[in-house]
Amino acid sequence: MLDASGTSTTTMVNDDGSVTTTVTDSSGSTTESVTPAVTTENIDGSSTTTSTLLDGSTVATMTDPSTGASSVITTDSSGTTTTVSTNGDDTSTTNDDGSTTTVSGDGKTTTTVASDGTTTTTVVNDDGGVTTTQADGSSLTMTGDGKTTAITDAAGATLTHVVNSDGTITSTDADGTITQTARDAMTTNITTGVTTATITTSDGDLVISYSTDLSAITVTPPAGPPTTTTSNSDGSTSVTHADGSTTTTSSDGSTVENVASTGDKDVRITTPVTPAPTPVPPAAP
């Protein structure tokens, strides 16, 4: 933080909960101070360590030694509270409005519960694509390259759409009926090169937009928010969700990075499974 006089102030919460504040004035002179944390032993055997920052915000870390679970409660100077809880490998974030987001240990399953109790689950599939399931049981699945989308309604009926290499779209409904949407039935933005197709379904209009090279494909189902799948130059796949959050999966599936709409980043690294070698039968005598 830099003030009008050119003085900068930085704060850092140390491992023991104390807070180190470093002040550097315009001449480059630096002073450092350490504010000790306050640790409280709770009646249930857990402990709470509270750190107070320069702006009046606090960071409280609660640890339960019997389970290993921990929670970090951040309260800013305006009183807004965010809680991040870790139980095993799962991490849950509780916002001030009561909504929660839970990320599994491998980063591949994200469950969001809104303040009204509505639950949405997003699972990263083996190919880097995602399946998002709404509270009513309906779901949208996009493959890693974004070219195939399967939309399943609450009754279990599935409608599949494939963006072909020539830019046409093939749709298959629940009873197996196949329809083809030709390029001349689509519109292309001459500035961005993005092509948009509107497909009429029994549930309403489905909109599919894609870039010229098919590296970015956005699907907006009739009754749901848009989802965009982007194939990156390093081979990873990024999915942008309706709330602005993104999920990026490395080409080998070993790293999953979830970035919330607030910019908070959660990276999970797993060891990819190497298949056992196929046994070679002995040579015939």
Most confident of 3-17, 220-234, 254-268: 220-234
Q: What share of the chain is helix, strand, coil (3-state, %, to 5)?
A: 0, 50, 50
Could you give the CA distance from residue 225 to residue 52 in angstroms, rounded to a whole number?
40
pLDDT in tens, 183-232: 677 888 878 888 888 887 777 788 888 888 888 888 888 777 788 888 88
Average pLDDT over residues 98-120: 84
pLDDT value at residue 17? 72
The CA distances from residue 201 to 170, 172, 187, 206, in Å, are 13, 11, 19, 7
In this predicted structure, the answer to whether residue 129 has a pLDDT above a threshold of 70 is: yes
- Residue 271: both structure tokens together: 């060891």
Share of the chain above pLDDT 90, in %: 0
Could you give the CA distance from residue 197 to residue 185 in angstroms, rounded to a whole number?
7
Q: How far from chain centre, in Å, is Cα 61? A: 24
Where do the structural domains in the chain lie, given as residue ranges?
A: 8-88, 119-269
pLDDT in tens, 135-144: 888 888 888 8
Q: How far from chain centre, in Å, is Cα 217? A: 18
Residue 108's CB is within 10 A of a number of other CB atoms, namely: 20
Average pLDDT over residues 1-11: 70
pLDDT value at residue 1? 52
Q: What predicted TM-score, i.e. pTM, was given to this entire model?
A: 0.59
Higher local confidence (pLDDT), 9 or 161: 161
**With contact defined as beta carbons under 8 Å apart, do 30 and 22 qualify?**
yes
In this predicted structure, the answer to whether residue 282 has a pLDDT above a threshold of 60 is: no
Average pLDDT over residues 124-130: 83
pLDDT in tens, 25-60: 888 888 888 878 778 877 777 778 887 776 777 877
CA dihedral 235, 231, 263, 142 (to 10 degrees): -120
**With contact defined as beta carbons under 8 Å apart, do 195 and 184 qualify?**
no
- Res. 280 pLDDT band, cuts 50 70 90: low
pLDDT value at residue 4? 66
